[in-house]
Amino acid sequence: MQKTASSILILLLALVPLRVSATDDTTTKGKVMSVIDGNTVEILTSENEMVTVVLAEIDCPELTQQYGDKAKAYLERLVLKKEVTVEFRGKDRKGTNLGIVLIKGKTDVRIQLLQQGLAWTAERNPNPDLEIHKNSAAESGKGLWKDDNPTPPWIYRREQSMLQPKSS
């Protein structure tokens, strides 16, 4: 009797459709509904699910930082209300999706931001393929590289958190 009950349970579980989130896939398509900052977008997937994606392996200035508004405006011009492909690359420490956003399945918006001098490569273990674009923009003095020593966003965030009053 117990074997039969187990078999029925397994059969029933096999028949129940599993809801798979777009973020569980390695790739999804969708439309960019909003740009939150220079490296974060909200996408309505083809599965009709709203997904927040932080661009993997780059970091743009914070909105309150010099060039932060320019990075956001540039990303809006590139992707807002456009169909994109997202290649998911896991989640950040806050649980937000990390991904590569491609326009027409081939134009990597991360490279566009780096080439315009509106982003840094990741603080830890920078991708050499992306580092080439950042270095080229820095050598050309584009965007934030017009400044002699621009403050990376991860340093800026640490400085800002140190200015916050500590709660007891």
Is 60 within the bounds of a domain? yes
Is 76 within the bounds of a domain? yes
Q: 53: burial class by Cβ within 10 Å (0-12, 13-18, 19+)?
A: buried
Is 4 within the bounds of a domain? no
Q: How far apart are CA 109 and CA 52, in angstroms?
A: 15
Amino acid residing at 15: L
Residues in the chain: 168
Asked if pLDDT for residue 19 goes beyond 90, the answer is no
Is 10 within the bounds of a domain? no
The residue with greater pLDDT, 127 or 8, is 127
Per-residue confidence (pLDDT) for residue 25, from 0 to 100: 54
**Any idea which of 14-18, 87-91, 123-127, 133-137 has the lowest mean pLDDT?**
14-18
Non-local CB neighbours of 131 within 8 Å, separated by 6+ positions: 121
Is 102 within the bounds of a domain? yes
Is 70 within the bounds of a domain? yes
What's the CATH code of the domain at 141?
2.40.50.90
Is 11 within the bounds of a domain? no
Tokens read off for 145: 């590289």
Question: Confidence band (pLDDT; 50, 70, 90) for 168?
Answer: low
> Are 71 and 60 within 8 A, CB to CB?
yes
Is 155 within the bounds of a domain? yes
Q: How many domains is the chain built from? A: 1
Per-residue confidence (pLDDT) for residue 7, from 0 to 100: 47
By residue range, what is the domain housing residue 92? 20-162
Residue 32 DSSP SS3: strand
